[in-house]
Structure 1
């Protein structure tokens, strides 16, 4: 009993009070979650771009400039993901530490037809490296190093949390590999607005195909539907996740005429709100894997 009490007191002493927490700003919700996982009780993390928000169309406001100016550490993805980054840093006069979470990742090129898709303008580099858990381990290590540099007293604390989280990422990766390996390669095809999933495709040998003839028009024509049906049948696609298809009737028609299962929502660049299916990176990845693997099966 006495030993337990001493351990509790030591843990309380090692945990900083709220006012003493290291102020950290992340560029978007996924990075904010990773930073909280590594930083735990020693950090106070805010995110510029929140859950269910698009970082590609984000425009920093005056309050965002203030947020960055007040932070000691700024966590960004890099690889051209945050096109507004240099403007914000210049406006805020940020003097703290900026950590590029993707440093060390082997970057992939985006397929030619994906350039500028849905407003994504990353040149030839695909910045969505977090869709491979092994890349996220690099993110976590970079974040750990940055937090340790800003808060040397938390070195062991950050190292322990980063190590534990990396083990969870390994387990997540192993589960995904097992799930997709159980599906024949010929069935590992997905029709989707797929500009964000190149790293997932490479890691698990999935083919993400672009929908032909689909635009952001409010209502798709019979010709468009017929073209999609032909594509699905020709490619023998079992999984369809098309963000542009906001009209439920179109999804139902495609499912009926092509005999294909229409999957739910995939989370690419942002977490869901706390009450959604993807409020953390681990849950986001699991949701995507579950949705994709279920839709690929006969």
Structure 2
């Protein structure tokens, strides 16, 4: 379905019968809902963060499901229905969800909308904010604190429990961050170079001292020109980059072409913008980070 067609379908929902609401929104009444908080998260990584902090206190619906691409997502009428019935909507911000404003308007959502990246100073690409701030575990702490605050405002009687669960999750994030730094420090700086499909690892690069190249900018919706491909191939050869990666939600053909032209072996698949299916190697945010780092290091060492 084309974007315009999808949005017309969403808007058409408002002209039909009124949607049966869940419990009244805490944002409208000032009172906590009787059952689990109805939360809509824009994509799977955010949904997992909310789940880790909220536990059974929230019922979470994910718009861009595991394996999906938030950059090119097309909302469905069912998504507008979920927003209309939600108490809280959590999105990344930094222009990742370009479709969210229209979806909120079409759904008639009246609850609270949390921008999880609020307070983060973004890196800029050609003057535009890079939305992939979760690729730094240090910045992920800001996400978690923002989520924690929104949940406590929604469920004030559960504030102590939310604080306990949030503190435990933050401790896990800090422990993983220490492990990542230790692991990357085992590589000489000259080997800390890699290539992925789109520029999703800029925050990782800045945080952990790794150089990343990509033929696309920060969005997978961007067209890739022959000039872009030639530039990456030249840099691969000049810098003797060993590690070239596919992305789990991307088309592999572009990177396969670059690998052939540069004479570089593909070192595996990374998860940039989405979790894996449950039971897969990256089925939570922390599993994603650990899996990505292990995959990167193996390829960078030339194994």
TM-score by length of 2: 0.78
Q: 1:240 aligns with which of 224, 238, 244?
A: 244
Post-superposition offset of 1:246: 3.1
**Is residue 245–residue 251 contact of structure 1 (8 Å, CA) maintained in 2?**
no
- CA shift for structure 1 position 168: 0.6
Q: 1:176 to 1:126 in 2, by over 3 A?
A: same
* 8 Å Cα contact 1:54/1:270 also seen in 2: yes
Matched, 1:201 2:208: no
CA distance in 2, matches of 1:181, 1:46: 38
The number of aligned residues is 258
Distance in 2 (CA, whole Å) between partners of 1:98 and 1:268 is 24
Residue 249 to residue 269, structure 1, CA distance change in 2 (3 Å): closer
Residue 93, structure 1, aligned to residue 108, structure 2: yes
Verify: 1:74 aligned to 2:89, yes or no.
yes
Aligned twin of 1:40: 55
Equivalent of 1:104 in 100, 115, 119: 119
- Which residue in 2 is equivalent to 1:12? none
Query: In structure 2, the residue corresponding to 1:48 is in which secondary structure?
Result: strand
The residue that corresponds to 1:7 in the other structure is none
Instruction: In structure 2, list runs of 5 or more residues that go unmatched.
Output: 1-32, 217-225
Q: Distance in 1 between matches of 2:233 and 2:272?
A: 25
Q: How does 1:1-298 map to 2 (within 5 A)?
A: 20-110=35-125, 112=126, 124-211=128-215, 231-243=235-247, 245-246=252-253, 253=260, 258=263, 260-298=264-302
**Alpha-carbon spacing, 1:287–1:156, altered in 2? closer, same or farther (3 Å):** same
In structure 2, the CA distance between the partners of 1:282 and 1:145, relative to structure 1 (3 Å rule), is same
CA–CA distance in 2 between the matches of 1:236 and 1:97?
49
CA shift for structure 1 position 59: 1.8
> Structure 1 pair 35/248, CA: closer, same or farther in 2 (3 Å)?
closer
**Matching residue of 1:11:** none
* Inter-partner Cα distance in structure 2 for 1:93 and 1:226: 47
Measured in 2, the distance between the counterparts of 1:240 and 1:184 equals 18
Q: Report the secondary structure of 1:20's partner residue.
A: coil
- Provide closer, same or farther for how the CA distance between residues 108 and 248 of structure 1 changes in structure 2, counting only shifts above 3 A: closer
Distance change (3 Å), C-alpha of 1:250 and 1:57: closer
Distance 1:199 1:169, change over 3 A: same
In 1, Cα distance between the equivalents of 2:88 and 2:229? Answer: 49
Distance 2:256 2:133 in 1: 33
Check the 8 A contact 2:44/2:62 in 1, yes or no: yes
Helix, strand or coil: the match of 1:68? helix
The SS at the match of 1:94 is coil
Structure 2 distance, partners of 1:148, 1:184, is 44
C-alpha separation in 2, matches of 1:153 and 1:287: 37
Local SS of the residue matching 1:177: helix
**CA distance 1:177–1:261, change in 2 (3 Å):** farther
CA, structure 1 residues 248+76, in 2 after alignment: closer, same or farther (shift >3 Å)?
closer
Task: From the superposition, tell whether residues 188 and 157 of structure 1 become closer, same or farther in structure 2 (CA, over 3 Å).
Answer: same
Consecutive aligned runs of 4 or more in structure 1 exceeding 6 Å deviation: 224-229
Mind listing any 5+ residue stretches in structure 1 that lack a counterpart? Answer: 1-17, 113-122, 213-220
